[in-house]
Chain A
Amino acid sequence: MLLKELEKIIRIVEKSEIAELEWEKNKERIRIRKDNGPAAPMNYYAAPMQSAPQAREAVVSVAPAVATAAEAAKPAARGKEVTSPFVGTFYSSPSPTAKKYCDVGTQVKKGDVLCIIEAMKIMNEIEADFPGKIVAVLAKDGQPVQYGQPLFQIE
């Protein structure tokens, strides 16, 4: 990505309500996150202090190379997200020694078990609502998850 394009994106994000922007194209990815940190310290020489919501700091982290820019887009998502319908602990396999239910690259059919969310000693099997290929596993084995938390991305 040319520096000019990157600057353009940063300015657009800064001015907008977007808190975090992730852009991926041809294996190149950038992520820009806005840090609504504490209000700027009182500085008698600076311009009048703006109210908290307008105090902003763009934090840019650039991973591998960067993609060619167009206008600021919504976070690029591949396929659909599977979110947790339960509160509990995420397990990727039926038992510590067993094989994982699925992983990145696995083709799943509708009704296939993707993982277990355990709560109050009850193992809830999470099934795929639709067929596709797992392109991302978004939770770690043994991780506590909340309602609505993204677990998988299926294309």
Chain B
Amino acid sequence: MAHKIRKVLVANRGEIALRVIRACKDLGLETVAVYSQADEHSLHVKLADEAVCIGPAPSKQSYLNIPFVIAAAEVTGADAIHPGYGFLSENAEFARICRDCNIKFIGPKPESIALLGDKVSARTTAVKAGLPLLPGTKGAVKSLEEAQSEANKIGFPVILKATAGGGGRGIQVVHDKEKLASSFERVRSEAGAAFGNADVYLEKFCQSPRHVEIQVVADEHGNAIFLGERDCTVQRRHQKMIEEAPCPVISEDTRKKMGAAAIALVKEVGYWNVGTVEFLLDTDRKSFYFMEMNTRVQVEHPVTEMITGIDIVKLQLQIAAGEKLTIRQEDVKLKGHAMEVRINAEDPDTMKPFPGKIEGLHVPGGFGVRFDSFIYDQYTVVPHYDSMLGKLITHEENREMCIKKMLRALEELKVGGIKVNSAFYSKVLKNKKFLDNQYDTNFLEEFLPKKS
């Protein structure tokens, strides 16, 4: 390992702080944990070599408190900061401040974060790099004739959306060209009445979309590879719940095309360290469109690690230390199937958060079972942050066996004293649509608690 990093401050909490501390220790790096007063008894605090309290419970005054995080690095002599995910991980200003203070930010350069963090500049850059975007009109459609010509160009079905719209209002899917004229008039008048603005734009409508993302890794010397893809279609209100790798419905050819697109974006931006390029996979399971790029390590990185055998967090640290990527694209082999579920402290039926003291804990194990979590027996789950306690991951030869193993692991997991959502996954994983790969981003709707 190059001598450029010696002591890493982890500017995060919970399971990812633990994940980073473990990777640091595996590489012989010293570790510093920062914590809010509410996290005094958190596992990442106990496992780090040093720990600094940086504020009261509210994130704004602690984990998001840039001056205090930097001060903590100063007083402990940390020469690098790993931001984890969430919190300051995609804060270009924070990355800039680290650079100015001579602290190595473990991630891309601030300019990349700023460029890709803004939806508009990200899309412009993606277009420059030749990535496909969801076809649609850039602005409002001024007449029915224009709507018709654009819709013909894009191809039906299309979706009409009020530019000033929201809350599901002013939206109409049009399946055939005969219905376009009436739909166009109707949405315009609805928008005018509801939002005072009748402007409508047009987009390609994906009947049954899936969320497929590419894991990219680049060093600071211009080398970039991708580590396959992940399918994160099972989402609840845009929150990922189940992730798997590889994507069970794409061909090797599509995988190669998506990977090439992601690398093109990385090279266009001059991106380094790890990141994820998110795509929308259309109903034909071949066409894909750029959605956004996340300039950090993701929650679901373990499923990629399981099928590739590559430690992504370790790579982050090595890349930040200036090391060259020694893995070539042809070395990347995807083996078997992996799945991850997010274990939250919540009621499995109502999905309401359920913090409290853990009384009795049994963690699943065995070959191909991984539990990335910061909980321990007698630990009190605090209410101030998100309810995720950890991630349960399984890896097997194929998808069917992987699901069976996950069901077995979920049964083994026992968290006493509080409620966790493992029973929810047990239900979903037995669902025929899920087993047959016949699901899309709307899949979880039927599993949500009915609104009274």
B53-A88 in contact (CB<8A): no
Q: Closest approach, in angstroms, between the C-beta of A20 and any C-beta of chain B?
A: 15
Which residues of A are found within 8 Å of B377, using beta-carbon distances? 51
Question: Assuming A88-B75, A120-B74, is B67 touching A146 (CB within 8 A)?
Answer: no
Interface residues of B, CB < 8 Å — how many?
18
Which residues of A are found within 8 Å of B68, using beta-carbon distances? 86-87, 119, 147
Interface size class of chain A, counting residues whose CB lies under 8 Å from the partner chain? 10 to 19
B37-A148 in contact (CB<8A): yes
Q: How far is the CA of A147 from the CA of B74 in the complex (A)?
A: 14
Q: Which of B37, B72, B378 contacts A53 (CB 8 A)?
A: B378
Proximity bits, B82-104, A CB within 8 Å = 1, else 0: 00000000000000000001000
Q: Closest approach, in angstroms, between the C-beta of B120 and any C-beta of chain A?
A: 33
Interface flag for A132 (CB, 8 Å)? no
Q: Which of A53, A144, A145, A147 contacts B55 (CB 8 A)?
A: A147
Which residues of A are found within 8 Å of B53, using beta-carbon distances? 87, 146-149
Interface flag for B131 (CB, 8 Å)? no
Quick one: which of A86, A87, A89, A148 has the most chain B CB within 10 A?
A87
A87-B378 in contact (CB<8A): no
A120-B71 in contact (CB<8A): yes
Chain A residue at smallest Cβ distance from B100: A120
Within 8 A of A (CB), among B85-142: 101
Which residues of A are found within 8 Å of B67, using beta-carbon distances? 119-120
Q: How far is the CA of A123 from the CA of B249 in the complex (A)?
A: 59
Interface flag for B54 (CB, 8 Å)? yes
Q: How far is the CA of A119 from the CA of B55 in the complex (A)?
A: 15
Which residues of A are found within 8 Å of B52, using beta-carbon distances? 87, 144, 146-147
Q: Which of A51, A146, A148, A149 contacts B72 (CB 8 A)?
A: A146
Chain B residue at smallest Cβ distance from A85: B55
Q: Closest approach, in angstroms, between the C-beta of A127 and any C-beta of chain B?
A: 19
Which residues of B are found within 8 Å of A119, using beta-carbon distances? 67-68, 70-71, 74-75
Within 8 A of B (CB), among A94-135: 119-120
Interface flag for B76 (CB, 8 Å)? yes
Within 8 A of B (CB), among A62-108: 86-89
A86-B37 in contact (CB<8A): no
Q: Closest approach, in angstroms, between the C-beta of B69 and any C-beta of chain A?
A: 8
What are the 6 A-B residue pairs with the smallest beta carbon separation, nearest first?
Answer: A119-B71, A144-B75, A87-B71, A146-B53, A87-B68, A146-B52
Interface residues, chain A, CB within 8 Å of chain B?
Answer: 51, 53, 86-89, 119-120, 144-149
Contacts A53-B378, A87-B72, A148-B56 known; 10 new A-B pairs at CB < 8 A: A87-B52, A87-B53, A87-B75, A119-B70, A146-B54, A147-B52, A147-B54, A147-B56, A147-B68, A148-B53
Q: List 18 A-B contacts (CB under 8 A).
A: A51-B377, A86-B71, A87-B71, A119-B67, A119-B68, A119-B70, A119-B75, A120-B67, A120-B101, A144-B52, A144-B75, A144-B76, A146-B52, A146-B72, A147-B53, A147-B62, A147-B68, A148-B37
